[in-house]
A and B are shown apart, each in its own frame.
Chain A
Amino acid sequence: MRKYLFSLDHKVVGLQYYLLALTALIVAVSLSVLMRLRLTWPEDVWPLFSKLLPSAFNNAGQMTPDFYLALMTMHGTIMIFFVLTIAPQAAFGNYFLPLQIGANQMAAPRLGQTSFWITTLAFCILITAFFVAGGAPLAGWTAYPPLSIISSGTGHARGMDLWLISLAVFSIAAILNSLNFMVTILEHRTSGMQLMRMPLTCWGWMATAMISLLAFPVLLAAGLLLLLDRLIGTDFFTPNGMIVNGQIIDLRQGIPILWQHLFWFFGHPEVYLAILPGMGVVSHILATFSRKPVFGYRTMVWATLAIALLGFLVWGHHMFVAGISPYLSMTFSFLTLTIAIPSAIKTLNWLGTMWGGKIRLATPMLYAIGFVSLFVTGGLGGIFLGQSSLDIYLHDTYFVVGHFHLIMGSAAVFAIFAATAFWFPKVFGRQMNEDLGKVHFFLTFIGVYAIFLPMHFLGIAGNPRRYAEISQFIYLNQLQPLHKFITIAMLITVNAQLLFFINLITSTFAGKKVNENPWQATTLEWTVTSPPPKDNFSEPPNVCRGAYDFSLPDAAQDFLMQTQADSMVAEDKPVEPK
């Protein structure tokens, strides 16, 4: 038991991260269900639940607006940090990065294990916030001061401190984990695995590791300063002349908007961090199941790096109407539309990969196709929001909520589904059930469109986000049917997720047994047994070609493993030394 919990094997660490992310996903989805129910039927009473958490309910037994905001804050925080930062990157990366580059372990196995446990600690701290006096924080996942500085009252007390501490701890873990990734990629590639021969998944992990190293320290610093403002009364972000709970707070001269700069300098790269590994996995899967090389591998690599770097130059698009200089807004608006170009190129390359291929619609491929569709739809929403003049109207409305849920809430989650179905045979030697997988794909794909597309309409109609109910405004009341539709679609879609979990659990024990390379893929992880032996490779593999040699003309078969020296396996051509 102890051996397993604190194992130094990167595969165990990867699985642990995956389980943590799955737990977090279940928690966060449950929170969103409560949220939608309160939003749609604010008068409903909850006899059972109100006994469990009395502070969240008013005397009539209805959920309070404070609790709605607390749910929202925790939902967003858990999703962003504990699902989308760790599942695609830490979970799949720890498991498959060494396998894909032909290494026997990560550069620093102990570091990997430590970062996992620190992350778990951060998660526990965050969850504790629900149960302390004052309850979970209500300032949103962006925690804008001065709202987040108020230190008494429901949603403002210890919960907010715990939230900040949790994120600080999380940042440290993320930085340590990324260090490990960087060094592993740079130093532990097996012979012949030049950078430009790496699978695109590895590029995705490398880009995210770079982003983490540059972005998380900023969150850490900002979070600690905000914590000091709350705990000992410094005034980094506390402005002068506020009346809070009837008390005047003056003699402060902090600058609240500084927090927004720091937070979004971290926050925007963070959302790319959530999507880049998914892009890598999807490129990988599209090539494998179209039996074609990735269309424009080199362009994909450059687009990945461009997105990672440009991602640091666009944070101001979250602040167009926050009172920054209008000139600054113009710059950020231009840069934001520029970063859309590499994303558009990626879309072209995904379609190009499928073009003329031999498409096998196994579940991983279905999820990958779903990803492409959702990414395009969500991404086009960004073209509206990146234009500062349109963002005046759309900012902080449901248009934004719809946009980022399509990209992060749906596309990135589809990438997680795709990766799970794709690599499941490698981890367990068994395949996930294809029929269940297909039904799950159909329901979820239609479901997320049904949930998140109408949110754009709400935004166009002017529905601000973070509203606990819409009954107070005449112009919003007429949107109630749309809200109801979204909630019902959400209930159906959430229940459909049971299929995925049933599939995951039953296939672990009873899935169809498969050989070590059921998808006929080319990368190194498919050369070892399933599950991989403890030390991965008995002798270091020697890589002779790029990652996607599918359907090479004249080759003996339609895929060539990266270790395969010669495309004409039958022939014995002498190897020229270099």
Chain B
Amino acid sequence: MAAAIAILIWFLAIVVVLLFSAGHLGSVNWNFPELITNFSDIDSQFYLTLTITGIAFLLSHLILGYFIFKYKDNNPLVKYSKGNNRLEVTYALGVGIVFIALAVMSQRIWTKIYFAQPTNPTNVLQIEATAEQFRWIFRYSGKDNKFGETLLELVNKDHNPLGLNQKDTNSNDDIVKLSELVIPVDEPIKLILRSHDVMHSFFVPNLRLKQDVIPGMSMATGFEANKIGEYEIACAELCGQGHYRMRAKLRVISKEDFNNWLKSDPPK
């Protein structure tokens, strides 16, 4: 019995480690989606944490199995011990240092994401993303670099999804795209997020980017894609029955293509 349980626990520990390594090595489909930005800190922090927790996991399970195996019912010499304060303190310090170190490293990445200023702020392309049940609507400011006014009263699902006010001259050249975000490669993007109804969350797995969208506020997030291709945008905050199909396409194209795309009127 004891041997069976010990072997089960060891076996389990090894299987778990193998499965996670399989993901790490990229040989199975449950790995991260392809990373399309040069900002790879999140992935490396993940793998670092995976290594550390993996060691902790393996150690604790090997010990657990070993104890079950070793200290059987017939052990004649039970160690009478009520604890060992020095061990506890050392252990707590050790664990604490590892955890805090991880936290510090993670905070570095966090500050890079949230507080780093783009090197050339004027260069940043601003795009507005509006979430509604159950689609994403994107808007480019057009030639004048200004977003026109929108009014909720004017919203019409088919003809004027954002409720653009045509009286505002800034609106005239605004470009509205349903469920497709087109961006130039290698260029910092500033995304302004709004919601027409409930909370949503702008989630681009390939960019490791997620930001909740709260109605009544506009939130901003920034990113840069460094790989041309077609990717997917999902909604990651429960927003109603159609949550699972709130999909948009992310199309990363070259700068020239993008400029041409902007000029072609209406853009495809």
Contact = CB atoms under 8 A, between A and B. Distances in A.
Chain A directly contacts chain B within the complex, with at least one CB pair under 8 Å: yes
Interface of A: 64-66, 69, 138-140, 144, 146-147, 150, 154-155, 239-244, 248, 250, 253, 256-257, 290-299, 321-323, 326, 329-330, 333-334, 337-338, 340-341, 344-345, 347-349, 351-352, 354-361, 366, 369, 372-373, 376-377, 380-381, 383-384, 386-390, 392-393, 395-397, 438, 442, 445-446, 449, 453-454, 457-458, 460-462, 464, 466-470, 472-475, 478-479, 482, 550-553, 558
B56 A467 contact: no
A344 B95 contact: yes
B234 to A, nearest CB: 6
26 contacts: A144-B238, A146-B198, A147-B240, A241-B152, A243-B196, A248-B153, A293-B82, A296-B83, A323-B211, A333-B103, A351-B64, A355-B67, A357-B67, A373-B64, A383-B49, A386-B103, A388-B107, A389-B45, A390-B46, A392-B208, A462-B33, A462-B203, A466-B244, A472-B245, A473-B232, A473-B247
A144 B198 CA distance: 9
Contacts of B30: 454, 457-458, 460-461, 479, 482
Interface in B193-231: 196-199, 201, 203, 205, 208-212, 214-217, 219
A146 B16 CA distance: 40
A352 B235 contact: no
B12 A449 contact: yes
B79 A383 contact: no
A387 B2 CA distance: 38
B75 A341 contact: no
Contacts of A454: 30
Contacts of A466: 238, 243-244
Contacts of B61: 373, 376
Interface in B90-140: 91-92, 95-96, 99-100, 102-103, 106-107, 109-111, 113-115, 132
B215 A256 contact: yes
Nearest to A73: B238
Interface of B: 1-2, 5, 8-9, 12, 16, 19, 23, 29-33, 41-42, 45-46, 49-50, 52-53, 56-57, 60-61, 63-64, 67-68, 71-75, 77-85, 87-88, 91-92, 95-96, 99-100, 102-103, 106-107, 109-111, 113-115, 132, 152-153, 155, 196-199, 201, 203, 205, 208-212, 214-217, 219, 232, 234-245, 247
Contact of A453 (B1, B16, B42): B16
With a 10 A CB-CB cut-off, give which of B113, B153, B212 has the most chain A CB atoms. Answer: B212
A389 B42 contact: yes
Nearest to B115: A326
Nearest to A464: B236
Nearest to B82: A293
A69 B238 contact: yes
What 8 A-B pairs have minimum CB-CB distances, sorted nearest first? Answer: A356-B79, A239-B216, A462-B205, A296-B83, A457-B30, A387-B106, A467-B244, A389-B109
B247 A472 contact: yes
Contacts of B67: 351, 354-355, 357, 359
Contacts of B78: 291-292, 356-358, 550-551, 558
Contact of A292 (B46, B64, B79, B114): B79
A475 B216 CA distance: 31
Given A66-B241, A295-B81, 12 more contacts: A65-B243, A139-B238, A147-B238, A322-B212, A356-B77, A357-B71, A359-B72, A376-B61, A380-B56, A383-B102, A395-B210, A551-B78
